[in-house]
Structure 1
Amino acid sequence: MSAAPLPRPRLLAYGIGSVGTGVFSALPGLLLLYYLTDVLGVAAGLAGLVLVLPKVWDMLVDPAIGVASDREAVRTGGRFRLMLAGALALPPLFAAVFAAPAGSPGWSALWVGAAFLLATTAFNLFQVPYAALPAEISPRRDQRSRAVSWRVVCLTLGILAAGGLAPLVVEAAGGGRAGHAAMGAVIGAVLCAALSAAALGTRWIPSRPGPNTLGPVAAFRAARGNRPFFALAAAFSTQALAVSVMLAGAPYVAAHLLDDYGLTSAMFVCVVGPSLVAVPAWSALARRFGTVNCYLAALAAMTAASALLFPAVLTGSAAAVLAGTGLVGVFYTGLQLLPLSLLPETVRADAGRSGQAQAGAFTGLWTGLETGAMALGPGLFSAVLAATAFRSSDAATAAVQPESALMGLSQGFTLLPAALFLVSLVPLLAFAKSTAAGPESVVGDESAA
């Protein structure tokens, strides 16, 4: 506890990277499926494959990026090079995703799929080492939690910028292909600024994994005994899947049930906006009642709030839907802050168990599961669309949807995420049970930190 508190400029330098990660994590899930089906005319089933297949690649490559990050840290004492490479490569690749040239729907799907695969790989070159930094930013648990709080606030700002501004940029630029291409260029510039600032601003964080540099197989073998980590990762990734299904469904609810695509931005702001107030509230509750107890409460409330959205959507009332999404947003904050606060503690605790510090390897596994879940969400929602006879169309011709499709997208936006949130309770309870001295033992106590 002798280490000094982290000054605000350093907390901001770390947190600002999450503006970029929030933008990239949210926007493909929010707009890319709609871009494929309602702008490029790609069939819903094929559009789902375009979104899922690049993320299958990511799930395979992210653990290797984590190991590479640990090896860089052993050699140089930091994780700067991979982060900067990702920060510089991602912006033009992101712009390319939404700049498909004119052609057949099949050609457009191939272009978007290839660009999205490269963009997500570049993103994870930044994200995997970036996510390892909270475990190394301070020897004090309270300062690590403080850094995560700054990260979640900045993540909220990034998600708000993505979901609140991106659809407006699309409409301001004329919609269709041209509007999405303009949005891709604007958001690419935002990504470049936020990610580069974080890569440069966190060079001071000492990264000391080791004592051995392990290959991917050996790193996984050393990590597999960390049962709390894998239970926490399973819970968080299942919740990420549920959130990504909701994100994918939002434009369809706005356009086909509320008859106003522009409400996509308002719905998104209602989900994410409460985080700016709820982060300190959840932090205070966690200090008083315990992080895991609050996590369980947030998950139960999120399940109920998601289910309650279904009757709100059926009313066709924008006010009812926005109120319901605002309630979801209060509990969504808890599902972001609380597991991310527990993650660095499971990583640090494992170093004592195994004698091998490898934050990058753990965050590579975590990021692979999260990114895979975030991509599977739009794919899962597209399967709902395909199963309920949704009719794709290009930007110039609007299709009339059958009642089966309208009911399917209503249930896919509400009841399907609620079911997934409920499923995630199983690994979260396993996480609580796997800790040796009760659900909070993985994080230790403040005096031990």
Structure 2
Amino acid sequence: MGTVGTLPRGVRIGYGAGSVATGAFGTVPGLMLLPYLTDTLAVPALLAGVIVFAPKAWDVLLNPVAGRISDRSVDPRGPRRPWLLRAGIALAACFALLFAGPDLGSRTVEVLWVLVAFLACATAYAFFQVPYVAMPAELTGSYAERTRLMTWRVVILAFTILLAGASAPAIRDAVGGRDGYRVMGVAMAVLILVGAVLAYRGTASAPVGAVAPGPGTLRDQLRLVAGARDFRLLLTTFVLQALACGCMLAGVDYLAGDVLERDGAATLLFVCFVGPALLLTPAWAAVGRRLGKKQGYVASSLVLAVGAGLAALAQSAPAAVVFAAVALVGVGYAGVQVFPLAMLPDAAAVDARRTGSTRVGVYTGVWTAGETLGLALGPGVFAVVLALGGYRSSATGGVAQPESAITAITLGFSVLPAVLVLLSLAWLRGYRLDEEEVEEWAHA
């Protein structure tokens, strides 16, 4: 089950490079797809929310299957690595098609194009993300080394979110119209492909041990994973926070255009959100080493919730206050990515040591299914908030919105995510795995 000691820096960076693919795909659809549907294809907000959510709901079902398949894969390159290349190439190709629909003269057909392409993206992503997230539990048995590994991953993830989240709207606006979305889609597809190839090549020398899949059917494995108390509590916390982040991500374009009404505000909001993560991810890792992963997770969650709550001032306060609040969200966001991703392989590895069989892929499949569900529900919930506020969809954008819609955008971006993050901490209280127990099982 991997090594107990430290990993070469090249492996850490190589593994972290996979976040270029996950970060681009995790960010751009959540940021751009809902506005594309409501403000370019004139799809009503509720229907647009269903279109964004449905393919991700398919992922929720598919991810545990992908995990089980990767657990049972046999390849001289390792059980997980080949999936990074295969699924990464498929994901990039499907993503390029997502925004590339021609002007077909029928809104129904154009919406179906988006739905089918996004479903294909979601399928490819499941077979990339699940093996990718499963790898740390097999790369090292060290509690501290997993935090270092996740630090590299989150730094690269933060940089990718900044790059993709800031450049995608800029590319769209520079080209203009539907052509802007098409060019943006191709650019992001190239970014996804680069991340997948770098992760595949960068982990070529990773010290992955032999995988011994757990016995029984997938249903048996899921039942055992569901009975793992620490994993279940951690997953619930993470899913609620993914839902909160999904709401904020979906709201960026609307907050920038309809509430702040500033040119380039969407890009600036993204810089404020992700910039602190680039600088402070190592600081959160240091907090984890000093206080423990759980306490670091609680602290970063509280920072994120406070920042989100302050963003509720968007309708009345100067724009600078909103940007500062979003920057505070970014400070917390760095931590809520580092800690749960470092805690997940602890739970999976302890289970493997206890039982003598590996369910890492199934654990990861359930985890990524939960994350996918949260991030997919975020835009869906935000679309419901828009509909309740009376948001007006159009084919050209720039339509004056009623005051109720402006309020809905603000609350959906701020108060709702803050409440969700605070609520998630009720489950985290019961998590018990600490460094002593994890290291004890690693040497057992």
What interval of TM-score do these two structures reach, taking the shorter chain for normalisation? over 0.9
Compared CA separation, residues 261 and 239, structure 1 to 2 (3 A): farther
**Could you tell me how far apart the structure 2 residues matched to 1:169 and 1:339 are?**
33
Pairing 1:122–2:124 present: yes
Compared CA separation, residues 219 and 208, structure 1 to 2 (3 A): farther
**Could you tell me how far apart the structure 1 residues matched to 2:122 and 2:45 are?**
21
Compared CA separation, residues 430 and 4, structure 1 to 2 (3 A): closer
**Could you tell me how far apart the structure 2 residues matched to 1:184 and 1:316 are?**
34
Match of 2:280 in 1: 278
**Could you tell me how far apart the structure 2 residues matched to 1:319 and 1:79 are?**
45
CA shift at 1:108, angstroms? 2.3
**Could you tell me how far apart the structure 2 residues matched to 1:359 and 1:2 are?**
15
Compared CA separation, residues 427 and 77, structure 1 to 2 (3 A): same
Task: Determine which of 246, 249, 253 is the counterpart of 2:248.
Answer: 246
The answer (yes or no) to whether the contact 1:97–1:112 under 8 Å persists in 2 is yes
Alignment of structure 1 residues 412-431 onto 2, 5 Å: 412-431=412-431
SS at 1:72's partner residue? coil
Compared CA separation, residues 284 and 41, structure 1 to 2 (3 A): same
Output one character per residue of 1:128-150: Cα deviation in whole Å (capped at 9) or x when no partner: 00001111112333322211111
The answer (yes or no) to whether the contact 1:347–1:359 under 8 Å persists in 2 is yes
CA shift at 1:97, angstroms? 1.2
Pairing 1:388–2:389 present: yes
**Could you tell me how far apart the structure 2 residues matched to 1:73 and 1:441 are?**
33
SS at 1:181's partner residue? helix
**Could you tell me how far apart the structure 1 residues matched to 2:43 and 2:435 are?**
48
The answer (yes or no) to whether the contact 1:73–1:208 under 8 Å persists in 2 is no
Q: Report the AA paired with residue 20 of structure 2.
A: V
Match of 1:83 in 2: 84
The answer (yes or no) to whether the contact 1:257–1:316 under 8 Å persists in 2 is no
Compared CA separation, residues 253 and 21, structure 1 to 2 (3 A): same
Q: Report the AA paired with residue 315 of structure 1.
A: S
Q: Report the AA paired with residue 414 of structure 1.
A: S
Match of 1:443 in 2: 438
Output one character per residue of 1:339-378: Cα deviation in whole Å (capped at 9) or x when no partner: 1111111111111232221211110110011011111100
The answer (yes or no) to whether the contact 2:20–2:157 under 8 Å persists in 1 is yes
Output one character per residue of 1:213-247: Cα deviation in whole Å (capped at 9) or x when no partner: 55321221332331111111110111011001001
User: Identity of aligned pairs, percent?
Assistant: 41
Aligned pairs, number = 441
The answer (yes or no) to whether the contact 1:231–1:430 under 8 Å persists in 2 is yes
CA shift at 1:261, angstroms? 5.2
**Could you tell me how far apart the structure 2 residues matched to 1:3 and 1:13 are?**
19
Q: Report the AA paired with residue 399 of structure 1.
A: V
**Could you tell me how far apart the structure 2 residues matched to 1:108 and 1:171 are?**
21
Query: What is the TM-score when the length of structure 2 is the normalising length?
Result: 0.94
SS at 1:269's partner residue? helix
Pairing 1:39–2:40 present: yes
**Could you tell me how far apart the structure 1 residues matched to 2:8 and 2:76 are?**
27
**Could you tell me how far apart the structure 1 residues matched to 2:216 and 2:321 are?**
53
Pairing 1:14–2:15 present: yes
The answer (yes or no) to whether the contact 1:79–1:203 under 8 Å persists in 2 is no
**Could you tell me how far apart the structure 2 residues matched to 1:241 and 1:221 are?**
24
Pairing 1:110–2:112 present: yes
CA shift at 1:207, angstroms? 4.4
CA shift at 1:93, angstroms? 0.7
Match of 1:326 in 2: 327
**Could you tell me how far apart the structure 1 residues matched to 2:3 and 2:341 are?**
24
Q: Report the AA paired with residue 419 of structure 1.
A: V
Output one character per residue of 1:189-234: Cα deviation in whole Å (capped at 9) or x when no partner: 1111111221233233324332545532122133233111111111
Instruction: Give unpaired runs (5+ residues) of structure 1.
Output: none
The answer (yes or no) to whether the contact 1:97–1:111 under 8 Å persists in 2 is yes
Compared CA separation, residues 9 and 441, structure 1 to 2 (3 A): closer
Alignment of structure 1 residues 202-217 onto 2, 5 Å: 202-205=203-206, 206-210=208-212, 212=214, 214-217=216-219
**Could you tell me how far apart the structure 2 residues matched to 1:255 and 1:380 are?**
19
The answer (yes or no) to whether the contact 1:67–1:214 under 8 Å persists in 2 is no
Instruction: Give unpaired runs (5+ residues) of structure 2.
Output: none
Q: Report the AA paired with residue 370 of structure 2.
A: L
**Could you tell me how far apart the structure 2 residues matched to 1:316 and 1:177 are?**
34
Q: Report the AA paired with residue 219 of structure 2.
A: V
Task: Determine which of 140, 148, 151 is the counterpart of 2:142.
Answer: 140
Match of 1:236 in 2: 238
Alignment of structure 1 residues 50-69 onto 2, 5 Å: 50-69=51-70
**Could you tell me how far apart the structure 1 residues matched to 2:28 and 2:47 are?**
19
Output one character per residue of 1:149-207: Cα deviation in whole Å (capped at 9) or x when no partner: 1111111111111111111111122x221001000001101111111221233233324
The answer (yes or no) to whether the contact 1:167–1:264 under 8 Å persists in 2 is yes
**Could you tell me how far apart the structure 2 residues matched to 1:288 and 1:384 are?**
40
The answer (yes or no) to whether the contact 1:238–1:373 under 8 Å persists in 2 is yes
Query: What is the TM-score when the length of structure 1 is the normalising length?
Result: 0.93
Alignment of structure 1 residues 283-302 onto 2, 5 Å: 283-302=285-304
Q: Report the AA paired with residue 237 of structure 2.
A: A
CA shift at 1:3, angstroms? 5.6
Match of 1:304 in 2: 306
The answer (yes or no) to whether the contact 1:258–1:318 under 8 Å persists in 2 is yes
**Could you tell me how far apart the structure 2 residues matched to 1:400 and 1:75 are?**
59
Pairing 1:338–2:339 present: yes
Match of 2:194 in 1: 193
Compared CA separation, residues 322 and 73, structure 1 to 2 (3 A): farther
Match of 1:94 in 2: 95
**Could you tell me how far apart the structure 2 residues matched to 1:178 and 1:410 are?**
29
Note the aligned Cα RMSD (angstroms). Answer: 2.1
SS at 2:392's partner residue? coil
The answer (yes or no) to whether the contact 1:134–1:344 under 8 Å persists in 2 is yes
Output one character per residue of 1:373-417: Cα deviation in whole Å (capped at 9) or x when no partner: 11110010000011111000112x532111111111111110110
**Could you tell me how far apart the structure 1 residues matched to 2:213 and 2:34 are?**
44
Q: Report the AA paired with residue 164 of structure 2.
A: A
